[in-house]
């Protein structure tokens, strides 16, 4: 029997909007990965109907460190809306999250559409600008425990993102040092090379994966390349910064 997409989408939508922890959908429902992406699309449609706007997408599980941390071996993707954007230098309200974590990333701003399978060079040629970034992931599942189908249905845990100053894409981004700090103390150190060997590969993969769902990346979209390291749990009062060699930094604080 096929999954009730509408019912599952409403469950994750409610959990996302109200920041409440839910049991894994897979404990009571049987659904495929393809159905999980339909649940994700439907739940985001509910958010768009409620007034949010689509601004781009995120890639997930793009580094070995993330795959090992979460016990998976494939990439996933999710959708970004305007309400998820956290102002660089701003503050998030801890009570609006279930159990948020943060990971250091690089973001792309596209100047032209990308549709279907493309080479890394074609993907790179579609980039208007790049920026240091961070993703706030907040699985709505109790204890951050899920199957790949569960997490995809829950928008691949995406909950917030921070973008630093946009830079021209002339910079070689293949192996940039990245340091994420909590209150000035390094908590994750990595390299952009950890993102699929070269972060531009993540953009090409994004184009291919969204096409499998009948979507494309459009000029003006923001694409989060994926975490370069494992994610760190956020807590009240902490001040977070991600510095990326040659690109600069971005940061935010968490309310007390
Ligand atoms: O790398 C990612 O952005 C994956 C997020 C989904 C899994 C998680 O919640 O850690
Ligand atoms: Mg991420």
Residue 22: phi and psi, rounded to 5, are -125, 165
Nearest to 114 by CA among 251, 218, 20, 43: 218
Residue 153 confidence (pLDDT) above 80? yes
- pLDDT (tens digit, 9 = 90+) per residue, 172-181? 999 999 999 9
Residue 123 confidence (pLDDT) above 90? yes
Question: Which of residues 44 and 171 earns the better pLDDT score?
Answer: 44
Q: Specify whether the CB–CB gap between 8 and 39 falls below 8 A.
A: yes
pLDDT at 65: 77
pLDDT at 22: 98
Atom 2 (ligand 1) nearest CA: 60
Residue 224 confidence (pLDDT) above 80? yes
**Start-end of H helices in the chain:** 5-18, 33-49, 64-70, 120-125, 148-153, 199-212
Q: What percent of the chain has pLDDT over 70?
A: 100
Confidence tier at 2 by pLDDT (50, 70, 90): confident
Distance 7 CA to ligand 1 centre (A): 23
- pLDDT (tens digit, 9 = 90+) per residue, 77-110? 999 999 999 999 999 999 999 999 999 999 999 9
Q: Ligand 1 atom closest to Cα of 70? A: 10
Distance 218 CA to ligand 1 centre (A): 23
pLDDT at 169: 83
Residue 212 confidence (pLDDT) above 80? yes
User: Which residues make Cβ contacts (< 8 Å) with residue 253, sequence separation at least 6?
Assistant: 90, 91, 92, 237, 238, 239, 240
Q: Ligand 1 atom closest to Cα of 69? A: 10
How high does pLDDT run on average in the chain?
95
pLDDT at 68: 84
Distance 106 CA to ligand 2 centre (A): 10
CA angle at 127 for the pair 191 and 118, rounded to the nearest 5°: 90
Q: Tell me the domains of the chain and their CATH numbers.
A: 5-254 (3.90.850.10)
pLDDT at 67: 80
pLDDT at 35: 97
Whole-model pTM: value is: 0.95
What gap in Å lies between CA 132 and CA 86, rounded to an integer? 13
pLDDT at 150: 96
pLDDT at 141: 97
Comparing 117-126, 164-173, 232-241, which segment has the lowest mean pLDDT?
Answer: 164-173
């Amino acid at each position: 029997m096929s999954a009730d997409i509408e019912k599952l989408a409403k469950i994750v939508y409610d959990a996302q909007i109200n920041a409440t922890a839910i049991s894994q959908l897979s404990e009571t429902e049987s659904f495929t990965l393809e159905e999980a992406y339909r649940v994700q699309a439907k739940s985001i449609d509910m958010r768009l109907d409620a007034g949010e706007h689509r601004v781009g997408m995120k890639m997930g599980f793009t580094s070995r460190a993330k795959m090992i941390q979460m016990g998976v071996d494939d990439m996933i993707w999710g959708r970004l809306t305007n309400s998820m954007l956290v102002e660089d230098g701003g503050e998030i309200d801890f009570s609006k999250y279930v159990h948020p974590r943060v990971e250091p990333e690089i973001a792309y701003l596209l100047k032209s559409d990308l549709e279907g399978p493309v080479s890394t060079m074609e993907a790179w040629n579609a980039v208007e600008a790049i920026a240091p970034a961070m993703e706030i992931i907040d699985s709505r599942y109790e204890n951050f425990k899920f199957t790949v189908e569960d997490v995809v249905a829950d928008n691949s845990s995406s909950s917030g993102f921070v973008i630093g100053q946009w830079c021209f894409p002339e910079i070689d981004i293949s192996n940039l040092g990245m340091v994420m700090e909590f209150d000035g103390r390094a908590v994750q150190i990595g390299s952009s090379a950890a993102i699929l060997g070269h972060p531009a590969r993540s953009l090409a993969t994004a184009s291919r994966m969204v096409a499998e769902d009948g979507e494309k990346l459009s000029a003006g979209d923001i694409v989060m390349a994926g975490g370069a390291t494992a994610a760190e749990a956020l807590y009240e009062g902490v001040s977070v910064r991600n510095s990326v060699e040659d690109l600069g930094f971005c940061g935010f604080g968490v309310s007390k």
